[in-house]
A and B are shown apart, each in its own frame.
Chain A
Amino acid sequence: MRCGLAALLLLCACGNLSNEDIAFVEALPRKNDLHVSVPIQSAQPACALGEASQWAVGARDTGDKLNAAVDAVLGIINAIRSSSPTSRKPDLRVWSFPDQKHPGVQMEASLLRVATQPGSDPATQPWSFAIDAQRDSGPFLEVLYAYFVGSDARTGQGVIAINFDNSRALQINGPNDPAGVMMIHYDLGTPRTIRIELGATGLGLSQFSYFFSGNPDGSGHFDYFFPDANGNRFSLQTAFTATGAGKAHMAVTTSSMTGTLDECWDATACLTYVDDPLNLTPVCQALGVPVGLCPPQGDPLACPTVP
């Protein structure tokens, strides 16, 4: 109504019809683009070596947790993408809005198109993005900062830093948020690589530098970490084919020892080869041999060729 009256009186225009707005939001990364994709099957049929690879299943589960963490912290970017900015300048868009979940908190997201030489390749266009929040009349604190390159976020690269200490200070943190900063490094070229660095345990994940590399055919690598209930720490380097077959090399640290473990699995996640000198796997434990004496099980030639 007010817009219509202003238009009537001043012949001014109202609306959000803007090609530049679209150009700006196309540069923002989508949370789906930053997902880890591990093609491990869910079904666990009867396996020759008696069991499915728990590390393969673990890779899939950890990938799902990472994706959920990315969704949790980047959900606000998706909300920004689908709304119009509140202010516009030639190379800057700002979205100001109240945090619907936290009364009294005002959010402000700003996206700056960094100046480049005229005629530069759009694929090299840098952007600077930040989300600040303010509670009541307090100072604005930065809760997210990102720097990315490329006009099309689906093929660009960048880094996103989420400051959980600031969000905790603003009392807008989630119950499972870790302390410190979470960094997401990504390059959505070929292969697609995502590195997520957690400075502290949280979001259902342990402090670690998770790395994913994915190829267009669905094959890739995924390095992840997890502790078990006994406090043992496992860091894994997995590699898998497009069908989900793969292999893992694991470094284990327990209270009394350190060692490595290797195994392979097929497309159904069934173990095809296990080399477990530490007797950590049910296959070796079933043999009842002392630690360090479990012979390799299965056929190493059954291990898939992975990228």
Chain B
Amino acid sequence: MNRVLPLALLVAAGAARADVHRFTLVVGDSQGGAGTRQLRYAERDARRIHGILTRLGGVREDDARLLTGAEADDVRRALLDLEGRAREARDRGEETLLLVYYSGHAKDGDLRLRDTRMPLAELRQRLQDSPADVRIGLLDSCQSGAITRMKGVRPAPAFDVQRARDAGPRGLVLIASSASDEESQESDEIAGSFFTHYLASGLLGDADASGDGKVTLAEAYTYAYGRTVGSTADTRAGAQHPVYLYDLGGAGDVVLTELAPARGGLLFGAADEGLYVVLDGQRRAVAEVAKAAGSSRRLALAPGSYIVKKRLEDAVLVGDVNVGDGVIEVADAQLSRRKLEDDPQKGASGPRWSVLGTGGYQVFFDSAARNGLFPPAVLAGVEMSARDDLGHQLAWGIDVAVGGGTSTLRLSGVPDIPVSFGELSGGISLWRDFEVTERLTASVGARLAFLYLFRSFTGRSDLPSQSFFTLTPGAELAFGWRFSPRWTAVARARANYLFYNVDKDQSLGYAEFALGVDYAFGF
């Protein structure tokens, strides 16, 4: 059953009580144990919501808990801690609010946190019994709507807030991203789950239907519900319908975010209309604004570099913005018109290419090999890579490097022989990127390379020049620090296996360390 909130029954948000002491537990887990597939964006979803609540939601850092990759007992402990703090605040006479957000797996009535489980019924009961005045549960997971069907909680066809003259809102609200028999879907295009993406966009300001600079619970849900249903209508899994359950009394609506205290952001003026998507430096959607002409909309974004795009029928409008302390007005006239295939959004226009230049050092693990056949070498290389080409955050690249040096060949009973050597190596790599922070990415992958080494003996034309060619499989680990939308500083380590079979059969290994700068092409 759809839980649509008729706009007519929306209660105008009263002024949020500024002295409400807010606590939040944000959980994101991509793994749900046996029988579940790994989610791609659950942890990113959690970080997004955590960032919004601590920046705009009035939650102090001390009162916020962000858990990623946690187990059920970790959630229980965090919840217990926050409940204790809420109780202390209440005992001091403060009004309190506890918001629990979860993004991850849910199945058969349980939240699935890796190989551990937390029954939905337990979470609901904890929220009901929590000492906070207002308890809000936001679940973005498959079949999470089951939490709204539990005994003891009244479903209602509309959001109805009763006015009370002497108290703010009191009670329990549960919002689930999909009905109990529906899947909650992720999207590569928005790099997140549909529901959380629209919830986040709404909390940042696009849900502020009243235009008072506050996004209430009702406004956020209405917005997220409509956008989620609309965006999932044509997906393979079918439309996804968030559900809403409340047991809330008291005066006023619950304000989730306030835009005014945040100094920076974007303002979409009244003259323009359409769907605007705001992308971060990694070209992933961080917020959307769907606006009609005649009203302006503000997004309270965190300071940083963003890309604003608006997709038209035959083109895409794109503009770079740097959000600082002030509000930047975005107008269509200021955006550049580009071809649709140049859509900067990750995954929207095919693979993203980049070129990496490196300087590095190669050293063999075996000391005998290092001091004779394979001396340490300095390498300079270049790599062309493609992201958003294979999906699943996989990327591939082709690299080549040249290098060499000098060394000395020492043989028993023979005077030292000076050696000059050169090296050519190249390979193809396949790796997966892991977002550590917004700017820091870790990459882990495999590589198959060829190595061609040649050497001659300085001043000894009587000795033959020698060479060696082989293929070497290996693994690599890299960290990239994105310091601008296109430029990333990279530190990389590789370990390779090499089979040497001239003097004798030997299994050897070597490592390569490199530092470089990556440049992303086009948009």
Q: How far is the CA of A281 from the CA of B101 in the complex (A)?
A: 120
CB neighbours of B463 from chain A (8 A): 22, 25, 81-82
- Encode contact with A along B489-505: 1 for CB under 8 Å, 0 otherwise: 00000000011111110
Q: Assuming the A-B contacts A19-B373, A22-B417, are A84 and B466 also in contact, with contact meaning beta carbons closer than 8 angstroms in the complex?
A: yes
Chain B's closest residue to A4 (CB) is B469
Task: Decide: A17 and B471 in contact? CB cutoff 8 A.
Answer: no
Task: Decide: A15 and B415 in contact? CB cutoff 8 A.
Answer: no
Please pick, from B372, B499, B504, the residue contacting A12 in the complex, using a CB distance under 8 A: B499
B94 CB to nearest A CB, Å: 68
Quick check: which of B14-22, B405-413, B511-519 contacts chain A, the rest being far away? B405-413
Q: How far is the CA of A12 from the CA of B469 in the complex (A)?
A: 9
- Encode contact with A along B436-456: 1 for CB under 8 Å, 0 otherwise: 000000000000001001010
Q: Assuming the A-B contacts A19-B373, A20-B503, are A151 and B413 also in contact, with contact meaning beta carbons closer than 8 angstroms in the complex?
A: yes
Task: Decide: A8 and B464 in contact? CB cutoff 8 A.
Answer: no
Q: Is the interface of B mostly helix, strand, loop or mixed?
A: strand
Chain B's closest residue to A152 (CB) is B414
A108 CB to nearest B CB, Å: 18
Task: Decide: B503 and A18 in contact? CB cutoff 8 A.
Answer: yes
Would you call A83 an interface residue if the criterion is a C-beta within 8 Å of the partner chain's C-beta atoms? yes
A82 CB to nearest B CB, Å: 5
- Encode contact with B along A147-159: 1 for CB under 8 Å, 0 otherwise: 0001110000000
CB neighbours of A255 from chain B (8 A): none
Task: Decide: A88 and B413 in contact? CB cutoff 8 A.
Answer: no
Would you call B462 an interface residue if the criterion is a C-beta within 8 Å of the partner chain's C-beta atoms? yes
CB neighbours of B471 from chain A (8 A): 7-8, 11
Task: Decide: A13 and B500 in contact? CB cutoff 8 A.
Answer: yes
Task: Decide: B469 and A16 in contact? CB cutoff 8 A.
Answer: no
Would you call B231 an interface residue if the criterion is a C-beta within 8 Å of the partner chain's C-beta atoms? no
B407 CB to nearest A CB, Å: 12
Most buried by A among B412, B414, B453: B414
Q: How far is the CA of A83 from the CA of B464 in the complex (A)?
A: 6
Chain A's closest residue to B412 (CB) is A122
CB neighbours of A7 from chain B (8 A): 450, 469-471
CB neighbours of B500 from chain A (8 A): 13, 17
Would you call B397 an interface residue if the criterion is a C-beta within 8 Å of the partner chain's C-beta atoms? no
A180 CB to nearest B CB, Å: 30
Task: Decide: B499 and A26 in contact? CB cutoff 8 A.
Answer: no
Q: How far is the CA of A212 from the CA of B467 in the complex (A)?
A: 41
Please pick, from B373, B409, B411, B469, the residue contacting A151 in the complex, using a CB distance under 8 A: B411
Task: Decide: A19 and B469 in contact? CB cutoff 8 A.
Answer: no
Would you call A268 an interface residue if the criterion is a C-beta within 8 Å of the partner chain's C-beta atoms? no
Q: How far is the CA of A23 from the CA of B412 in the complex (A)?
A: 8
Would you call B468 an interface residue if the criterion is a C-beta within 8 Å of the partner chain's C-beta atoms? yes
Q: How far is the CA of A152 from the CA of B502 in the complex (A)?
A: 22
Chain B's closest residue to A32 (CB) is B462
Count chain B residues whose beta carbon lies closer than 8 angstroms to a beta carbon of A: 31
Task: Decide: A14 and B470 in contact? CB cutoff 8 A.
Answer: yes
Task: Decide: B462 and A82 in contact? CB cutoff 8 A.
Answer: yes
Would you call B473 an interface residue if the criterion is a C-beta within 8 Å of the partner chain's C-beta atoms? yes
Task: Decide: A13 and B499 in contact? CB cutoff 8 A.
Answer: yes
Would you call A139 an interface residue if the criterion is a C-beta within 8 Å of the partner chain's C-beta atoms? no
Q: How far is the CA of A125 from the CA of B411 in the complex (A)?
A: 13
- Encode contact with A along B235-270: 1 for CB under 8 Å, 0 otherwise: 000000000000000000000000000000000000
Chain B's closest residue to A20 (CB) is B503
Q: How far is the CA of A18 from the CA of B414 in the complex (A)?
A: 15
Q: How far is the CA of A231 from the CA of B157 in the complex (A)?
A: 136
CB neighbours of A123 from chain B (8 A): 413
CB neighbours of A17 from chain B (8 A): 373, 453, 455, 466-468, 500, 502
Would you call A35 an interface residue if the criterion is a C-beta within 8 Å of the partner chain's C-beta atoms? no
Most buried by B among A11, A12, A15: A15
Task: Decide: A11 and B466 in contact? CB cutoff 8 A.
Answer: no
Q: Assuming the A-B contacts A19-B372, A83-B464, A122-B412, are A88 and B502 also in contact, with contact meaning beta carbons closer than 8 angstroms in the complex?
A: yes
A83 CB to nearest B CB, Å: 6
CB neighbours of A122 from chain B (8 A): 412-414
Would you call A78 an interface residue if the criterion is a C-beta within 8 Å of the partner chain's C-beta atoms? yes
Chain A's closest residue to B452 (CB) is A15
Q: How far is the CA of A19 from the CA of B467 in the complex (A)?
A: 12
Most buried by B among A8, A16, A25: A16
Most buried by B among A22, A25, A81, A152: A22
B135 CB to nearest A CB, Å: 61
Task: Decide: B415 and A19 in contact? CB cutoff 8 A.
Answer: no
Please pick, from B411, B412, B502, B504, the residue contacting A15 in the complex, using a CB distance under 8 A: B502
Most buried by A among B466, B471, B501, B502: B502
Task: Decide: B464 and A16 in contact? CB cutoff 8 A.
Answer: yes
Chain B's closest residue to A151 (CB) is B413
Q: How far is the CA of A13 from the CA of B473 in the complex (A)?
A: 13
CB neighbours of B467 from chain A (8 A): 15-17
B223 CB to nearest A CB, Å: 56
Would you call A3 an interface residue if the criterion is a C-beta within 8 Å of the partner chain's C-beta atoms? yes
CB neighbours of B373 from chain A (8 A): 17-19
CB neighbours of B469 from chain A (8 A): 3-4, 7, 13-15
Chain B's closest residue to A84 (CB) is B464
Would you call A216 an interface residue if the criterion is a C-beta within 8 Å of the partner chain's C-beta atoms? no
Task: Decide: A13 and B413 in contact? CB cutoff 8 A.
Answer: no
Q: How far is the CA of A8 from the CA of B499 in the complex (A)?
A: 13
CB neighbours of B464 from chain A (8 A): 16, 21, 25, 81-84
Q: How far is the CA of A285 from the CA of B455 in the complex (A)?
A: 64
Q: How far is the CA of A17 from the CA of B452 in the complex (A)?
A: 11
Would you call A103 an interface residue if the criterion is a C-beta within 8 Å of the partner chain's C-beta atoms? no
CB neighbours of B372 from chain A (8 A): 19
Please pick, from A4, A25, A84, A88, the residue contacting B503 in the complex, using a CB distance under 8 A: A88
Task: Decide: B411 and A23 in contact? CB cutoff 8 A.
Answer: yes
CB neighbours of A8 from chain B (8 A): 471
Q: How far is the CA of A122 from the CA of B372 in the complex (A)?
A: 18
Would you call A30 an interface residue if the criterion is a C-beta within 8 Å of the partner chain's C-beta atoms? yes
Chain A's closest residue to B469 (CB) is A14
B21 CB to nearest A CB, Å: 64
- Encode contact with B along A81-92: 1 for CB under 8 Å, 0 otherwise: 111100010100
B71 CB to nearest A CB, Å: 42
B12 CB to nearest A CB, Å: 72
Task: Decide: A11 and B499 in contact? CB cutoff 8 A.
Answer: yes
Most buried by B among A19, A83, A150: A19
Q: How far is the CA of A7 from the CA of B470 in the complex (A)?
A: 6
Q: How far is the CA of A151 from the CA of B462 in the complex (A)?
A: 16
- Encode contact with A along B389-424: 1 for CB under 8 Å, 0 otherwise: 000000000000000000001011111010000000
Q: How far is the CA of A22 from the CA of B460 in the complex (A)?
A: 11
Chain A's closest residue to B467 (CB) is A15
In the complex, 13 of the A-B residue pairs with CB atoms within 8 angstroms, ordered by the A residue number, are A7-B450, A7-B470, A14-B469, A15-B469, A15-B470, A19-B409, A21-B503, A25-B463, A82-B461, A84-B466, A122-B412, A151-B411, A152-B413
Query: A residues near B, CB below 8 A?
Result: 3-4, 7-8, 11-23, 25-26, 30, 78, 81-84, 88, 90, 121-123, 125, 150-152
Query: B residues near A, CB below 8 A?
Result: 372-373, 409, 411-415, 417, 450, 453, 455, 457, 461-464, 466-471, 473, 498-504
Instruction: Kindly list 6 other residue pairs between chains A and B, CB separation below 8 angstroms, not including A12-B501, A16-B467, A18-B503.
Output: A15-B468, A16-B502, A19-B373, A19-B409, A88-B503, A150-B413
7 A-B pairs with least C-beta separation: A122-B413, A151-B413, A15-B468, A17-B468, A13-B470, A20-B503, A18-B502
